[in-house]
Amino acid sequence: MKMLTIVTALSSTLWSAPPALCAETAEGPDLPRFSQKGGTLYQGDHSIYLRTNDEWNGFSTFYLGYRYGIHERVNVAVEAGAAAIPHVYLGSLLLYFKLYETSDRFFFFGARTRTAYRYQDSDFSDEKWHKIVGDNYLVLKRNGMLMALDITVALRLGPGRRHALYYTIYPRVDVDFVDAADRTQLLFSPITIGYEFASRKHDHFSVAVEGGYAFPLPWSSIPAGQWVNFPSLANMGFYFRF
């Protein structure tokens, strides 16, 4: 009988939800909210954020954005981005979808669509750049729309599932309004790896870092020197939920 009691207690401990997930706050269950790719906001949540992205010219483009939780399964965001080295400007609409999540919040599967206007005039051919980036680094002018579909899987770890490791792939289509000779470009990213932490002590804050790589399809469709041919590193984001 004593052995049966021990086995029953052990089974209950292993299969029950982590204590931090069951805790109650004034807002309801104390569940993690992720503002990047580790998950979604809950219905009625708001988030403002500042993030960077090296995707366009290898130097940080800074984004200021706002995200809203229409529903736990659907979020919407708008953001504006700019990079002064040299010039990139973007205005974006993003939709986030939670496609699947385990009941214990350990595994998350989601998607994000990005639709944006981009103006870019990046010319690194001047001699002053050669010592920094080398020869034939990037000369690119684009004025048009881009569309991307991010597919993400994430694993949430630690107390309260507040640490998220995620992996993303995406195709991206760029359409230029001006350049008829090179109207459409297709790129693909087979890997973006990121980490997002939703703070428990400061519940309204989260931070994310990620890095990845994208290339043209087919590879030779965009000449060398007209796309950023190295991994995109040191992308960071700071998020405040309210």
Helix (H, G, I), strand (E, B) or coil at 11: helix
Domain locations along the chain: 43-241
The C-alpha angle with vertex 46 and arms to 45 and 49, in degrees rounded to 5, equals: 140
Residue 161 amino acid letter: R
- Name, in order, each residue with C-beta under 8 angstroms of 101's C-beta and a sequence gap of 6 or more: 39, 107, 108, 109
Segment 183-192, tens digit of pLDDT: 999 999 999 9
Give me the pLDDT at residue 233, please.
65
Q: Is the pLDDT of residue 60 over 80?
A: yes
Q: What is the mean pLDDT of residues 5-18?
A: 42
Give me the pLDDT at residue 198, please.
86
Tell me the three-class secondary structure of 135-202, residue by residue. Answer: CCCCEEEEEEEEEEEEEEEEEEECHHHCEEEEEEEEEEEEEECCCHHHCEEEEEEEEEEEEEEECCCC
Taking the C-alpha atoms of residue 178 and residue 184, their distance in angstroms, rounded to an integer, is 11
Place of tokens 């205005």: 91
Q: What is the mean pLDDT of residues 127-151?
A: 91
pTM of the model: 0.84
Taking the C-alpha atoms of residue 140 and residue 55, their distance in angstroms, rounded to an integer, is 13
Cβ atoms of 109 and 152 within 8 Å: the answer is yes
pLDDT band (50, 70, 90) for residue 22? very low
Name the CATH architecture for the domain at 43-241: Beta Barrel (2.40)
Give me the pLDDT at residue 209, please.
95
